[in-house]
Structure 1
Amino acid sequence: MGMFLILFLFSTQSKSSTLSIMGDLLDIQASKIFAILLCCYLIAYIVTFYQKKFSKTIYLVDFACHKPFARCMCSKETFIEKSKSEGPFKDESIVFQKKVIDKSGFGDKTYVPESLLKSPPCISTIEAKKETESVIFGAIDELLAKTKMNVDDIEILITNCSIFNPSPSLSAMVINRYKLKHQILSYNLSGMGCSAGLIAIDLAKQLLQVHPNSYALLVSTENINSGYYLGNNRSMLVSNCLFRVGGAAILLSNISSDSHRSKYRLKHTVRTHTGSQDSCYKSILQKEDETEKITGISLSKDLMSSAGFALKENLTTLGKYVLPLLEQFKFISSFVVKKYFNNKVKAYTPDFKLCFEHFCIHTGGRAVLDEMQKLLGLSDFQLEPSRMSLYRYGNTSSSSIWYVLAYCEAKGRIRKGDRIWQIAFGSGFKCNTAVWSALRNVDPINEINPWSDEINEFPVEVSI
């Protein structure tokens, strides 16, 4: 309103009278600066207005999370016993793995591939493919059943899996199984870690902006068999303890008539990549260990600091889109004072709880969730969906944020107009986020959900 009042003054007053009015408040130099800032703001406003006007609305029609067979369930005790009796692990490695898994925040019902429960465990490309097919096809079948989608209407397909990347690709595997049309735009994202699911969302958003009246099918998963480490390097044993079987399928649309049946509308995606810094780049690294030359995923001591740095960079960008003006002013003011006047002043941390009703944080581990709760000032209730997803399903990599959202739905917490924030971290190092707005109340009674038959058992107390 203030901007339009100023424009009105310029248009209705003479030049001298306008300057006189301004001169009562500011000197001539300040008026020039003000006018320049006003012009910049006006240009930014016009650009933003037309970007919104001509951009297509992206709808999340529905999503599905795979729930593995009960025979794949693996308690913490079973995991350690299998490692002790069948694995090539030294006694000190067994002790170390037990410490890690005891502090992981896991329950006793997470899932591992059947191949790892065999005696001895079978690590092979054949078994890895069986695992991936079971997860991917299971999630897609459920999604198609929920949406009653005709596969011939799918125009875009994006799959992502960091470790297992056979030839033909996973996207080709899906095309072959469901006989998708020859003209489909297919993409397979590999090596992009646990935040690749949100990269897929952003890629689909870009594609849906230029391909009208289209559906995009996204599939996020990770492969435990091909990522299982059979050596004794501690930094590489951690991933054995944390990663579990899981996957999700998501259907996006840019068709306006889908607004009535869709669950969410995509509002923002923000991608942050800190790979230009060596410590961030090497914080999660696939390599051979130094002594036995066995391949695995190394998690360095710089992982948490890399996550913190990437998160702050991501929030700085996201804040411009979602924070109330007062919160933005407080943040910018403290930043300017700290940088130019007093370095000892503590930078103001914006209150993102004002922007969102639900927080879907990647279940990377208990330490990750503890740090996120501290940095964002979240309550135990707000972090409950992520903690319970970690407890029940473990770290399911890029699909974990969908298990968290499914928990919110199963609890009946999603109401029309609610804002949902998905946050995920991944190798590189990356922090990616997506913001959604609920288009309707989600009734858990009408949902096919991996939590549906046991949601009344949660939340539970997680022992440390």
Structure 2
Amino acid sequence: MATRDVGQQPRDSEAGSSPGHVVAIKLRNALPDFLQSVKLKYVVRGLIHSLTTHAVVCMLLIPLLTVTVIEITRLGNSTSTLQILWDRLQYNLVSVLATSGFCVFAFTVYFLTRPRRVYLVDFACYKPDESNVISRQELLSYAASTGKYSYESLDFQRKILERSGMGDEAYVWKKAMCTLPGDTSINNARDEASAIMFNSLDELFAKTGVAPKDVKILVVNCSLFNPTPSLSAMVVNRYKMRGDITSVSIGGMGCSAGLIAVDLARDLLQAHRNSYAVVCSQEILSRSPYFGNDRSKLVTNCLFRLGGAAVLLSNKGCDGWRAKYELTHSVRTHKGADDRSYQCVFEEEDDSDLVGVTLRKELMSVAGDALKTNITTLGPLVLPWMEQLQFFISLVGRKVFKMNNKPYIPDFKLAFEHFCIHAGGRAVLDEIEKNLKLSDWHMEPSRMTLYKFGNTSSSSLWYELAYSEAKGRVQRGDRVWQIAFGSGFKCNSVVWRALRTIEPPKLNPWTDVIHRMPVTDISHCKLVLPSEILPSHVST
């Protein structure tokens, strides 16, 4: 597969292995060409949806307007006819009351049953202290100093780090690295969670002016760390929130949990009128490093970094003027019914009873299948109907009439101005860029987030949106597509519409580095093998 990326680096998918070893993860496999293998039923459903919401409405309105115009023309300037109609209504009390009652009832039902608009008032991303910055070489040296890894495992991690697409400015919770092999205590994990959640929430409340006691709904997601009391209870206790708050903690749902939390908050806002909802997304890593030599579990050690975000949602009409975005669509895809999808990202013990998260070789094909399902469900909701029609004609020609015509790929750039694709790894970003035919400009937020912050799990989408805001790219009416993958296996999408042109915020995780972004030369820095630095610590 041809390599294409800034700086001509090999992808992190190409992390090699020594001869004779079977690598459990083969990210070299490309995503399936999902847009060319779409089932016809999805496209038909999309066309029906578009015609129903556009053409059919016009077909119903045009005759009604035509009849109205004809009647007004027929009446002309005859005030006597209108006077007669008015007099009849005046003296027919039963008809007037019945008609008025029906109209009041219809409007009441409509306003009570219609979905409430959900606004994104603002969001905040956690910017760790600079003392937590760690370079790839430092991380590799730390791995060697633990004395837990074989030379082959360290060399494998070196290749992953070199080709990951990350720079040397990402963050880790260094308090966990003060002792060897590392502080994995629950108290240290709580400290990490407190730093992420409380700093991002402090910034969020300061930016929005909303008091913690005004928050009615709280959703916190973290996959690997789920203490008792819960993370949501930690937030309630810290900010002394109201006693009737609806709080939820989401665990074990991987990097797509942030969008699941947003979707859950949206549903809860439909049930609670005039309410605020806060979503906190992060991953706590200090309790989950893998200290074994199973290569399929070592990739997570190399890619995941410290980060988190807090989001304020509202269904209050009065927040429409100050909110940044409106939530327009949320599409969730779950492939857990398939055993292969369920097991491709799996937390388990290795042969030495050491716990780690396994990434199996089927990951890329499973991700492609989930993305295909998600995107063909979302497409009919967002794509212009002409794009859907052209795709439908092309698909019918190939599927029904067996024509050898080139498949038409819908242009998703006509549906969205900004793309926030989960920065989980370089290989996935490369394949999505190729399949959706996106430009470097569209992929820039995702690639720069991976470069500067690494894979921050479910919060990475918010660092990407913050990047677009810091660049001053978000204009009124722009549509933003956030898409993420997670264990299970899941693929989730959320679409936002910008309610105003957003000036670069003063409080932004990119403020001090945005002037040198994008980095066009992501150097293929050669890392030194740990055996050359600390040979006494390298296991044989």
For the aligned pair, the TM-score class normalised by the smaller chain equals 0.7 to 0.9
Match of 1:114 in 2: 174
Residue 255 of structure 2 aligns to a residue whose secondary structure is helix
Match of 1:34 in 2: none
Cα deviation, residue 447, structure 1: 2.9
Match of 2:488 in 1: 428
Residue 477 of structure 2 aligns to a residue whose secondary structure is coil
| CA distance 1:343–1:301, shift in 2 (3 Å) | farther
Aligned pairs (5 A) from 1:435-454: 435-444=495-504, 446-454=505-513
Match of 1:169 in 2: 230
Q: Distance in 1 between matches of 2:261 and 2:63?
A: 48
Matched, 1:293 2:316: no
Q: How many residue pairs were aligned?
A: 426
Q: Which moved more, 1:365-374 or 1:111-120?
A: 111-120
| CA distance 1:277–1:345, shift in 2 (3 Å) | farther
Matched, 1:184 2:262: no
Contact 2:184 2:288 in 1 (8 A): no
Contact 2:176 2:188 in 1 (8 A): no
| CA distance 1:119–1:410, shift in 2 (3 Å) | same
> What whole-Å deviation, never above 9, does each CA across 1:190-216 have from its counterpart, x for those lacking one?
000000000011111111112110000
Contact 2:120 2:325 in 1 (8 A): yes
Cα deviation, residue 244, structure 1: 0.4
Match of 1:458 in 2: 517
Matched to 1:451, the amino acid is W
| CA distance 1:51–1:278, shift in 2 (3 Å) | farther
TM-score (norm 2): 0.76
Q: Distance in 1 between matches of 2:172 and 2:257?
A: 21
Q: Distance in 1 between matches of 2:259 and 2:318?
A: 25
Match of 2:478 in 1: 418
Matched, 1:127 2:206: no
Residue 267 of structure 1 aligns to a residue whose secondary structure is strand
| CA distance 1:107–1:53, shift in 2 (3 Å) | same
Q: Distance in 1 between matches of 2:383 and 2:207?
A: 34
Q: Distance in 2 between matches of 1:338 and 1:88?
A: 55
Q: Distance in 2 between matches of 1:124 and 1:94?
A: 25
Match of 1:63 in 2: 123
Matched to 1:152, the amino acid is K
| CA distance 1:356–1:88, shift in 2 (3 Å) | same
Match of 2:458 in 1: 398
| CA distance 1:406–1:7, shift in 2 (3 Å) | closer
| CA distance 1:210–1:92, shift in 2 (3 Å) | same
Contact 1:363 1:369 in 2 (8 A): yes
- Aligned-residue Cα RMSD (Å) equals 2.1
Q: Which moved more, 1:316-325 or 1:81-90?
A: 81-90
Q: Distance in 1 between matches of 2:480 and 2:60?
A: 37
Q: Distance in 2 between matches of 1:9 and 1:64?
A: 50
| CA distance 1:333–1:275, shift in 2 (3 Å) | farther
Match of 1:42 in 2: none
Work out which of the residue numbers 213, 221, 242 in structure 1 matches 2:282: 221
Q: Which moved more, 1:298-307 or 1:335-344?
A: 335-344
Cα deviation, residue 10, structure 1: 12
Work out which of the residue numbers 91, 116, 119 in structure 1 matches 2:151: 91
Cα deviation, residue 368, structure 1: 1.1
Contact 1:59 1:266 in 2 (8 A): yes
Matched to 1:456, the amino acid is H
Matched, 1:230 2:287: no
| CA distance 1:5–1:133, shift in 2 (3 Å) | closer
Cα deviation, residue 335, structure 1: 3.5
Residue 285 of structure 1 aligns to a residue whose secondary structure is strand
Matched to 1:215, the amino acid is Y
Contact 1:273 1:310 in 2 (8 A): yes
Q: Distance in 2 between matches of 1:113 and 1:417?
A: 38
Contact 2:143 2:154 in 1 (8 A): yes
Q: Distance in 2 between matches of 1:6 and 1:132?
A: 55
Q: Distance in 1 between matches of 2:111 and 2:291?
A: 51
Q: Distance in 2 between matches of 1:384 and 1:6?
A: 44
Work out which of the residue numbers 208, 212, 215 in structure 2 matches 1:147: 208
Residue 74 of structure 1 aligns to a residue whose secondary structure is coil
Q: Distance in 1 between matches of 2:471 and 2:373?
A: 32
Q: Which moved more, 1:344-353 or 1:137-146?
A: 344-353
Q: Distance in 2 between matches of 1:282 and 1:51?
A: 45
Match of 1:269 in 2: 330
Q: Which moved more, 1:336-345 or 1:151-160?
A: 336-345
Contact 1:214 1:253 in 2 (8 A): yes
Residue 61 of structure 1 aligns to a residue whose secondary structure is strand
Residue 368 of structure 2 aligns to a residue whose secondary structure is helix
Matched to 1:332, the amino acid is F
Work out which of the residue numbers 231, 241, 245 in structure 1 matches 2:302: 241
> What whole-Å deviation, never above 9, does each CA across 1:88-120 have from its counterpart, x for those lacking one?
111111000010011111100111112343131
Q: Percent identity?
A: 52
Contact 1:87 1:230 in 2 (8 A): no
> What whole-Å deviation, never above 9, does each CA across 1:170-203 have from its counterpart, x for those lacking one?
1111111111111000111100000000001111
Q: Distance in 2 between matches of 1:61 and 1:131?
A: 26
Q: Distance in 2 between matches of 1:312 and 1:74?
A: 36
| Higher RCO (C-alpha 8 Å, min separation 6) | 2
| CA distance 1:107–1:11, shift in 2 (3 Å) | closer
Cα deviation, residue 337, structure 1: 3.8
Cα deviation, residue 227, structure 1: 1.9
Match of 2:70 in 1: none
Residue 224 of structure 1 aligns to a residue whose secondary structure is coil
Pick the structure with greater CA Rg: 2
Cα deviation, residue 453, structure 1: 1.5
Residue 110 of structure 1 aligns to a residue whose secondary structure is coil
Contact 1:136 1:247 in 2 (8 A): yes
Cα deviation, residue 2, structure 1: 6.0
Matched to 1:454, the amino acid is V
Cα deviation, residue 457, structure 1: 1.3
Q: Distance in 2 between matches of 1:399 and 1:12?
A: 53
| CA distance 1:52–1:201, shift in 2 (3 Å) | farther
Q: Distance in 2 between matches of 1:355 and 1:102?
A: 35
Match of 1:369 in 2: 429
Structure 1 unmatched ranges of 5 or more:
14-49
Residue 111 of structure 1 aligns to a residue whose secondary structure is coil
Residue 227 of structure 1 aligns to a residue whose secondary structure is coil
Moved segments of 4+, more than 6 Å: 6-13, 50-53
Q: Distance in 2 between matches of 1:70 and 1:205?
A: 35
Work out which of the residue numbers 321, 325, 331 in structure 2 matches 1:260: 321
Residue 218 of structure 1 aligns to a residue whose secondary structure is strand
Q: Distance in 1 between matches of 2:65 and 2:442?
A: 50
Matched to 2:376, the amino acid is T
| CA distance 1:92–1:265, shift in 2 (3 Å) | same
Matched to 2:246, the amino acid is L
